[in-house]
Structure 1
Amino acid sequence: MPGTQEPSGELWEQAFFPLMFALPPFGEDELVAMMREYARWGYVVAQDGAADWKAVLAVRELAEKAPLPIDVKSLVFYPDLQKGIDSGLFGTTVGGHTVHGTKLIIDGSPQGRTAFVTQEYETGGPAGEQHWHGLANIQQDEANALVENAYRNGVQVFAHCNGDAAIDRLLEAHRTAVAAGATPSGRTVPIHSQVMRHEQLDEYVAEDFNPSMFSIHAYLFGDVHIENFGEERAFGISPMRSATQMGLRPTNHSDFPVTPLNPLQLLWTSVVRRSVGGVVLGEDERVTPLDGLRALTINAAYEYHEEDERGSIEVGKVADFAVLDANPLAVEAEAIKDISVVRTIKRGATVFEAP
């Protein structure tokens, strides 16, 4: 309200950032409990997808005392990019904690109607706006400067891009940086890649982008996506099968705590692509269970440039894997989501075992 710090309504996108920076980091017990929760679901690596500098240091200080239960990759939130560069910590690993890359948040969410799209929403804006195209959190000049700065300092770029206009912004920033002589570390990662144009996959291939997709949105918000974008655009959301067929190595993520953590549910959603309301959001974009499993394992390792170290069970790789109570490649598609994790192994040691 005027003259106070009381919000007068919903906080959209950048309005939330000052609140985020004001929040205290998790305590050590909370951090360990969170990592153990990931291990319970079979994860051996977790990504802190938009960590302010306080959060980065909190995990690093914990890792300096003793090895973490699972590995943690911190992506430094873009307002703190320069702070991270000045620290000299990018690329360093201590006790399983790596300051790995930086995270840009270029737009918002398709279900919240803040994703930045070229073709307007069919339902208008969240507050009744007409001819609504969503919101961009980062303008083109700022995106250009951020990506160039990251590339010049060997920092891998991850960018939240839900809408095709946001993807265009990332592609333009990448090309501008390369034209200026900044060499990318490779595998720039557009995260979500939901409401995208099919030809943008060709651009991903050309620019060595590695998309991280969000198939669980097809399940949780698919019916809303159809309302907001119509069937043609909604059915093409998170086009994992097309990406795979074009030689890309898409990953699949939960975005926890926004959506559930269970990786078997993620795998199931990529295979069936069915909404809560029972609509299949693009049968042509359903993937095989094997390709869906690759998106959660070897492709994830590839995203981090670690495919020679982890991501598959091979001689010479670290012993990171989960033991399941059923084979997701052998059961019926509908049964995949009901598979349970029996044990999680991290570098040969059990970090979770079901009772």
Structure 2
Amino acid sequence: MNLIADLILHNGYVITLEEDMESAEAVAVKDGRIIFVGTSKAALPLKGKDTKVVDLKGKALMPGFIESHAHPLACGESFLEVDCSPGTTNSIEEILCAVKEKASTLPKGQWILGRGWDDSKLSEKRVPTRWDLDQISPDHPVFLKRTCGHVAVANSKALEIGGVTMDSIDLPGGHIQKDVVSGEPTGILEERAQELIPIPEYSDESLREGMLLAQEQFAKWGITTIHDLSAQKRELGVYQNLFKNDELSVRYRLWLWALPDLHEPGVLNEVIGLGIYSGFGDKFINVQGVKFMLDGSIGGKTAAVKESYLHSDGNMGILYKKESDLAPHVISAIKSNLRVSMHAIGERAIDQALNILEKAAEEAESAVSMRNRIEHCTLANEEHVKRFKKLGVVVGSSTGFLYPSADNYVRVLGKERAERVFPHQWYKKYKVIAPGNSDVPVVSGNPFLGIYGLVTRKTEGGLVLGEDQGITVIDALKAYTIDGAYSSFEEDILGSIKENKLADMIVLSENPLFIDPEELKDIEVEMTVFNGKVTFIKEDTAIHS
């Protein structure tokens, strides 16, 4: 071989995640692609005077993680907003202190935005209300999204700007929570009711600054490819500017927001009108398809479940649209060579998604081979899984929720229903591809928390839910790599370490194949390589060049 490598990683344990899983200890890279996988002895002769050579000191090297469902721009925005996430604000009182501190830096009338509160983890074990926020921010409109993004709380000033009063009626697919005694809005807005509040948009420069910070975090987590499940004009603008300025350090796979929902206008008609097909773009940024919203979240008690939530007076969640109204849009997308992705968490929403895909398959033979996706699928049952297989569905499984969120699932669903969330043994049994994800910033984007949940089925509170649905470490690693590549028709260039694949790789603090599963969640990424270039290296790592 006469090639001179740009980068050589040697003296390691290479977890290729290829089917044969042949042992290797070195990888060589040139022009952003892997040119050699094998022994250190065979790799080192590819060194030239400008080759970067990294001694892995025996550490594990594996493919970069593919985050199959995320909201990167929301991650970037979170760096610009009040952080209400668990661990930062653990009570309503602490949220109020954070909002008050932000208000002290802004002129009266300027908006205060925030995200991340989780009532199940607040010390008060309740949702914050407008009256809580009014105590410390009467002169600033305040809008704070729950961690799931499907529920928000607005203060009185924000409700006034949005024209929300006790006489306001619910939008289809949304609910304004009102006090049972006074009839006044509590400030809690569920699903599409959030659209009533005209929150301001960030400037292009602010979004760029936020995304640069988000990309730094993605690299620390070892994420090298992200499926953006809410992409629209703003997202495309930010990604293209990052690419133009050579600031892109993640591959973005775009699912364009189809219909007007949750403050988003929707672009389905424009995309179809322009004749854009799935796959349009390049190895850095490309269009995967269009995304539809069917229901809400379990934590917010808005996912469309089959049986009512516990202690909820019969609440069974929210379906955004009637099946008859939604189906024509989905079928139109499929007939226009656009793959579809449908957010469906509760059983009723999953039923709706499958019914629509069955109708699409009757009208367009290509529907079954398009790898259309259903997102989250938290409460899929075995019959659903059989239908997934028949329809060629790829499940965007939000397994990152198992560890941080499933204790709350037990609280609102009961243990029996919570036992069967994210049923990966069923997916394996019926050969359904189900890439894992975190839906970041809904929960931490650290893939090892999702991998830990997939293997152990343990929650943060120590419960074991559906132990029979646990899978092996290898299968869990594949859920965050090669399965994610399959979900974008890119298994030939991403998701494993093989000659001629794109050079996205990570070095780990511990080898996940050789440690106690309990330690999986504690593994750290020590180096990230994106497109053949090192984008992150941990300060105290033993590896060096």
TM over 0.5: yes
Q: Where do 1:249-328 residues align within 5 Å?
A: 249-328=433-512
Q: CA-atom RMSD, angstroms?
A: 2.2
Code of the residue aligned with 1:120 in structure 2: it is S
User: Over residues 246-285 of structure 1, what are the superposed CA-to-partner deviations in whole Å (9 max), with x where a residue is unaligned?
Assistant: 2112111011111001111111111111122221111101
**Any unmatched runs of 5+ in structure 2?**
1-155, 165-184, 260-266, 540-545
Matched residues in 2 for 1:61 and 1:81: separation? 23
Partner of 2:43: none
Q: Relative contact order (alpha carbons < 8 A, sep ≥ 6): 1 or 2 greater?
A: 2
Alignment of 1:131 with 2:314, yes or no, is yes
Conserved in 2, the CA contact under 8 Å of 1:235 and 1:281? Answer: yes
SS of the residue corresponding to residue 188 of structure 2 reads coil
Alignment of 1:5 with 2:162, yes or no, is yes
Partner of 1:145: 328
Equivalent of 1:180 in 336, 355, 363: 363
Alignment of 1:231 with 2:415, yes or no, is yes
User: Over residues 219-271 of structure 1, what are the superposed CA-to-partner deviations in whole Å (9 max), with x where a residue is unaligned?
Assistant: 22222222322222110001012211221121110111110011111111111
Partner of 1:154: 337
Alignment of 1:30 with 2:202, yes or no, is no
SS of the residue corresponding to residue 342 of structure 1 reads strand
Partner of 2:225: 45
Code of the residue aligned with 2:345 in structure 1: it is N
Code of the residue aligned with 1:10 in structure 2: it is I
Aligned residue pair count:
350
Matched residues in 1 for 2:343 and 2:534: separation? 33
Code of the residue aligned with 2:227 in structure 1: it is Q
SS of the residue corresponding to residue 402 of structure 2 reads helix
Conserved in 2, the CA contact under 8 Å of 1:195 and 1:236? Answer: yes
User: Over residues 268-304 of structure 1, what are the superposed CA-to-partner deviations in whole Å (9 max), with x where a residue is unaligned?
Assistant: 1111111222211111011111111010000000011
**Any unmatched runs of 5+ in structure 1?**
125-129
TM-score (norm 2): 0.61
Partner of 1:127: none
Conserved in 2, the CA contact under 8 Å of 1:167 and 1:193? Answer: yes
Q: 1:183 to 1:108 in 2, by over 3 A?
A: same
Conserved in 1, the CA contact under 8 Å of 2:403 and 2:449? Answer: no
Instruction: Give the structure with higher Rg (CA).
Output: 2
Deviation of the 1:153 alpha carbon: 1.6
Deviation of the 1:67 alpha carbon: 6.3
Conserved in 2, the CA contact under 8 Å of 1:221 and 1:275? Answer: yes
Q: Where do 1:3-152 residues align within 5 Å?
A: 4-5=161-162, 8=185, 9-17=187-195, 23-24=201-202, 27-66=207-246, 68-79=248-259, 80-90=267-277, 91-93=279-281, 96-124=284-312, 130-152=313-335
Matched residues in 1 for 2:428 and 2:436: separation? 12
Deviation of the 1:30 alpha carbon: 2.3
Question: Larger % of strand: which?
Answer: 2
Conserved in 2, the CA contact under 8 Å of 1:213 and 1:238? Answer: yes
Alignment of 1:221 with 2:401, yes or no, is no
Deviation of the 1:6 alpha carbon: 5.8
Conserved in 2, the CA contact under 8 Å of 1:106 and 1:138? Answer: yes
Partner of 2:39: none
Code of the residue aligned with 1:11 in structure 2: it is L
Deviation of the 1:181 alpha carbon: 3.1
Matched residues in 1 for 2:199 and 2:335: separation? 26
Code of the residue aligned with 2:380 in structure 1: it is M
Matched residues in 2 for 1:10 and 1:182: separation? 44
